[in-house]
Amino acid sequence: MNCYSTPDLLRMVDAGKPDNSFLTHIRSCTSCAHAYVSLTFSISAMDLLPDSPLFEDIPMPSASLSLAPHGFVVKHAGGFSLASPIPVRGKRRSAVSLISGPVILEPLDRCTFRIVISSVRRSCTLVRDNDVVYRTGQRDERVFISDLCTGSYRLTVDGIAFSFTVE
């Protein structure tokens, strides 16, 4: 008797219960039996065993903000925390900064801002509107990238990506 084709085998596995002619066939055909059984066990293992939390889709921190005379106006800040320090008596209130992991976005004046990165272990790249603005491939402490203006930014620090748009 001829062996079953791969599509037939796949349909048989999908059905969950093979038909009698197939059952008779695989008693004498090691090849089809092996293909059927190994696929059945693979699918049952993939369905039954849980995934590990080590492979999770972590959403990339992203923010959308605009520059104003008094600092940032934040429209959306997913994955970023807003740092708004309490003003000291007699002094001006500090402007709002955005913090996410080792990255801090700080407004400088009405049309520029800067990025402070607390530490870079392997590499750091900043891309603005598809142009590389800053890149380092070495270990560094407290990286300052100043005089940045409006644009769509994507920052990668040691493989972790941050995205933000400044208007």
Partner 1 sequence: MDNDSSLKDIVLRYQVSRSRDLLAALQMALASYIYHYPRKVFHRDHDAASVFYLYVFERLETVVLKFEDHGYRFTTWFTAVLRNLYLNHLRTRSDDASDRSLPLSENTADSVHGMPEDIARHECSEQDTRRDNILARLKDRFSVRDSLLFQMHFLELFKESIVIPLADHLSLSVHGALSVIERARRTYRKRYLRLLSLQDTYTRICSRVKKEDAPSRSLLARKNGLALRMEQIQLTVPFRHIARVFSVTLNLVSKVITKIRSFLRTRTSREAA
Number of residues located near partner 1, criterion CB under 8 A: 41
For 5, the token pair is 């084709």
For residue 31, which amino acid is it? S
CA–CA distance, 160 with 133 (Å, rounded to integer): 17
Which residues have CB under 8 Å from 66's CB, separation 6+?
A: 72, 73, 75, 166, 167
Choose among 58, 12, 61, 19: nearest CA to 35: 12
Cα 136 from Cα 158, distance rounded (Å): 10
Binding mask 17-36 for partner 1 (x = CB under 8 A): xx----x--xx--xxxxxx-
Among the residue ranges 48-56, 64-72, 76-84, 147-155, the one whose residues contact partner 1 (CB under 8 A): 48-56
Nearest to partner 1 of 37, 82 (CB atom): 37
**Contact between 115 and partner 1 (CB under 8 A)?**
no
Q: Are strands 160-166 and 62-68 parallel, antiparallel or unpaired?
A: parallel
- Going by the DSSP 8-state scheme, the letter that residue 53 receives in this structure is T
Single residue of 76, 93, 110, 121 touching partner 1 by CB under 8 A: 121
Query: Residue 118 interacts with partner 1 (CB under 8 A)?
Result: no
Which of residues 39 and 145 has its CB atom nearest to partner 1 in the complex? 39
For residues 59 and 90, which CB has a smaller minimum distance to partner 1 in the complex?
A: 59
Instruction: Name which of residues 52 to 91 contact partner 1 (CB under 8 A).
Output: 52-55, 57
Q: Do residues 157 and 57 make contact, with C-beta atoms less than 8 angstroms apart? A: no
* Spatial contact of 105 and 97, defined as CB atoms under 8 Å apart: yes
Cβ closest to partner 1, residue 60 vs residue 83? 60
Interface ranges with partner 1 (CB under 8 A): 2-7, 10-11, 13-14, 17-18, 23, 26-27, 30-35, 37-46, 48-55, 57, 121
